[in-house]
Amino acid sequence: MARSTRLERQVPHVVDGRERMVRETYTVPAPPRDWDQIVLNAVTVIAVIVLAASVAWTTASVGDLLGHAVLAAIAYGAASAFDLVWIGCMAVEWLARYEPAQARTPQVAGIVALLLSMTAVAVHGWWLLHSPAVGLIGAGVSLLAKGLWTVVLRHTARPLDDRTRQWFELELGELNVELGALPLKRRAARGRALLAAEQQALGVTLSDGVSDTPVTVVTTPVPPAVPAAPVAAVSSVNALPTPVPTAPSATPAQPP
């Protein structure tokens, strides 16, 4: 028997010459099952379960290791960061899947964080439990979780050809310029609004302290300077002072 789906629609209905829109239920054949999407959903659920197990295992192992140095609450809180860091880096890498240059940094950071997490779990089993097998197998849980999520995310990503990818990079570059300037424009607009409010409240221009009332400036024209008369050259002889004759002394000379 073919599968069917019941839907609703609005249809006109007339009673006593007055028309109203009423709901009507009708049946249509159901579309075939999308097994690709069903399988992808199932794999995503499995990946989520594996990821949760990885976080729990890493937190328990590293928390037990750090618990010998600090309080248990602090130790387990810090231990949870080992897996959460590479999970966050993996999420950012997926967001930048169409920008290889942007995705490179979270990709490298995620690998480094994963190696640190695996090392911490291995040290817990090898050194604290004296069981190399527990340490190595426990470290592999995080590796399996990241590997499965990498497969799922790469499957969901839709690859673009090189020319289309370059076009979108240029388009996003222009948008990033506008988005980057938006906070600066907002700050400038806020500053102008604050300045205008202060000027209106104080009645002065904050930049120079002058009143906003227009001031009429009267400029008096300055007459041109009169050139000085030429001065005749004076010889060096005439420039010397003329000696003034002195009168003889009136006191007679004393006899010898």
Torsion of CA 170, 172, 175, 177, to 10 degrees: -70
For residue 135, what are the contacts with CB-CB under 8 A and spacing of at least 6?
Answer: 121, 122, 123, 124, 125, 126, 127, 129
Q: How many of the other CB atoms lie within 10 Å of CB of 209?
A: 8
- Residue 219: its pLDDT value, please? 52
235 — pLDDT class (breaks 50, 70, 90): very low
pLDDT in tens, 79-130: 999 999 999 999 999 998 888 888 999 999 999 999 999 999 999 999 988 8
User: Left if phi > 0, otherwise alpha if psi is -120 to 50, otherwise beta: which for 241?
Assistant: beta
Nearest to 108 by CA among 83, 121, 90: 90
pLDDT in tens, 5-62: 888 999 999 998 899 999 999 888 888 888 999 999 999 999 999 999 999 999 999 9
Q: How many of the other CB atoms lie within 10 Å of CB of 127?
A: 12
- Residue 15: its pLDDT value, please? 93
Residue 159, classed as helix, strand or coil, is coil
Residue 250, classed as helix, strand or coil, is coil
Q: How many of the other CB atoms lie within 10 Å of CB of 142?
A: 28
Residue 8, classed as helix, strand or coil, is strand
- Look at residue 192 and tell me whether its pLDDT is greater than 90: yes
- Residue 143: its pLDDT value, please? 95
d(CA 73, CA 66): 10
CA-based radius of gyration for the chain? 46
- Residue 176: its pLDDT value, please? 85
d(CA 25, CA 174): 49
Instruction: Please provide the DSSP assignment of 92-103 as one string.
Output: HHHHTTT-HHHH
Per the DSSP assignment, residues forming a β-bridge with 22 are 11
